[in-house]
Chain A
Amino acid sequence: MGYTLAFEAISPIANTQVATGSFAYLWLLIALPLIGALVLLLGGSRTNSFGPLLAVLMPATSFGFAVYLWLQMLGLPKELRSQNLVLFEWINIGSFQVPFGFQLDPLSMSFVLLITGVGSLIHIYSLGYMDHDPGKRRFFGYLNLFVAAMLLLVLADNYLLLYVGWEGVGLASYLLIGYYQHKPSAAAAAKKAFVVNRVGDVGLSLAIMLMFVAFHTVTFAGISEKAEQGSATVLFLIGIFLLIGAAGKSAQVPLQSWLLDAMEGPTPVSALIHAATMVTAGVYLIVRSNSIYDLSVAAQNAVILVGAVTLLAGAAIGMAKDDIKKALAASTMSQIGYMVLAAGLGPIGYVYAIMHLLTHGFFKAGMFLGAGSVMHAMNDEVDMRKYGALRGIMMITFGTFFVGYLAILGVPPFAGFYSKDLIIEAAFDRSIIAGVATLLGAGITAFYMSRLILMTFFSNKRWEDDAHPHESGLTMTIPMVVLAIGSVSSGFLLTYNDALKSWLAPVTGYQTPEPPIAIPVLIAITLATVLLGVLVAVKLYLKEAARVAPTDVSIFTKAARKDLYGDAINEAVFMRGGQQVVNATTAVDNSVVEGSVNFIGRITLGLSSLVRATQTGYTRNYALAMLIGVALLLLLAAIVRL
């Protein structure tokens, strides 16, 4: 390029560097997938031929550039790794000044790598998965749009711009969940996801407004600089509002209900958005807002509470689901609960939250792709009770899936072992209750994941008659394999030499957990719990599983099958309550508002008839009226004079 595309830098914000050199082009990270999305979505059918390939190319290129930048960043001293690029002044009204700026620091770098990396893999996978879909151009367009929005989310240097990305991914998620537009359930699920997310967005909005009111700034740098001066109440409130936002996006209790429905979308979407990346945005938000949470223990406690409840609730739901995707989704919910809980622990947990996020990104994406592969093979059947004994037929899928399984169980040395175990340690450091919750969660996770894998790949054949399972093609298996490799190795790599710790510490700070129980003992307890879970599952499902789900189950199972009544509560309180509000308002509009207008109209018409009735046509009546008028006027005149 003959001229520089780097925008003029605006004054640096504290602790950050004005992006120079290749960092000045970091906007390209977003621009590339965005261009892809625009070309595909606006280009219309003429991009059908090359569209999907372009769509794969764009995030891949972004990934390449991200890796390049990462290497650059690694070459910089730690205190210079936070790169800030302000493109232009976005909003400037009085004291409300928001730059359109990006911040690339180790935290966002981690996300960029995850998003572009996993994202690219899933794009490749989709080439195979969506091969026969007539509207795949649109699908890839949406995927690219998602990647762009997600990158914007993690690259923004202020909360408002983050919000744009935040809603951008929400939009992409909406579009992708509802991708099968002809399916009413998909359309409803998409809307539900968007609306529930909006509830979270209210929290995020309020947080931003409160930040502005309190600090007159909404940039990360500005907030971290001023947060210390904030009053406890303000900090607590900001923390809570951010938590609400995070809960919405990350499907935490009480805003979890959309995630299971979101499985209506194509499976790669579930893998990318609803397992690896978007749903972890809440974790990113909390970690990113460390300067707030570090100063408010109360807010942290709220985060821990939400995380703990969700991780158990997700796990509980996971135990009861027969739909493979929903079971995985419940698992996702649960695992994000871990991350959120970790993030709530403060500097002790931030790194582990991110670490678990990254490892989870690998193994959960891998498992989703595996699930997709199975579904692909089973005529899009999602009910695990119609699977069974697939391990021999789909070797690669089974293999990668099993790696992911071991990872999520936290079996050493798979990735999950490192990240989850550290979270449990950190949780015990904070409180026994939090620790026990995480421990319990690990056990349940072991049970339901074992159940899942047993029902799918082991056990007896329960296929539908027309099912002819087969291994998927290369475009699908290669990403699965790559992710499996990540699932195996990432934990070790991230902890080796405290790589992630030292990498993130400039952003999040770091404290070593000191749990009340000795760490080796804790590890042993954890593994024992996990083993217990596995054994129970093996006992129940290894030999044979029922083709139809039993109905005479405990009240807990019933509750878990119904997502712990989350939807029922929503239905009762919001849907039906909302419907009643709508009906009542409509009734008020008809009766009171319209009614009063009509009433005035009728009164006027009534008076009109009355007046016209006096016009009888009889001259003598008219004369009488005149005389009455005369008399009254005389009377009035006499009164006036008094």
Chain B
Amino acid sequence: MDVTNYVILAAILFSIGAVGVLVRRNAIVMFMSIELMLNAANLAFVAFAQANGTFDGQVVAFFVMVVAAAEVVIGLAIIMAIFRTRKTASIDEANLLRA
């Protein structure tokens, strides 16, 4: 089994996630894209763990999930707070700060 394929898959998912952040205006979807990127990283970690024959990658992936969970909570809390104020989840409307 060629680990390279997994990593390439990870790279593709990562890139899709990266582009998702750029083209979606809904903050929640944007955030999902970021989660996708984290998942891609996890996939790469796990794949490399397989290639390297060590478990460090798997441990990292586990921790990433934990961190991601925490991040999601905070992120969604922030998005909620903003939604309650502005009644919109579009990130483009948060552009008072500029120049």
Contact = CB atoms under 8 A, between A and B. Distances in A.
B18 A618 contact: no
Contacts of A627: 18, 22
A619 B96 contact: no
Contact of A620 (B21, B96, B98, B99): B21
Chain A interface SS verdict (over half):
helix
A613 B98 CA distance: 9
A618 B99 contact: no
Interface string B69-99: 0000000000000000000000110111111
A616 B97 CA distance: 8
A627 B91 CA distance: 18
Contact of A617 (B18, B25, B30, B97): B97
Contacts of B30: 620
Contacts of A521: none
Contact of B95 (A613, A618, A623, A624): A618
A181 interface: no
Given A627-B18, A627-B22, A620 B91 contact: yes
Interface in A92-121: none
A620 B18 contact: no
Given A627-B18, A627-B22, A619 B99 contact: no
A620 B94 CA distance: 11
A620 B97 contact: no
B24 to A, nearest CB: 8
Contact of B98 (A616, A623, A624): A616
A612 interface: yes
A431 interface: no
Contact of A623 (B22, B96, B97, B99): B22
B25 to A, nearest CB: 7
A617 B22 contact: no
Interface in A588-642: 612-613, 615-620, 623-624, 627
14 contacts: A613-B99, A615-B99, A616-B95, A616-B98, A617-B95, A617-B97, A617-B98, A618-B98, A619-B94, A620-B22, A620-B92, A623-B21, A627-B18, A627-B22
* Interface pairs A-B: 3 shortest CB-CB: A617-B98, A617-B95, A623-B21
Interface of A: 612-613, 615-620, 623-624, 627
Given A619-B91, A620-B30, 19 more contacts: A612-B99, A613-B99, A615-B98, A617-B95, A617-B96, A617-B97, A617-B99, A618-B91, A618-B92, A618-B98, A619-B94, A619-B95, A620-B21, A620-B22, A620-B25, A623-B21, A623-B22, A624-B22, A627-B22
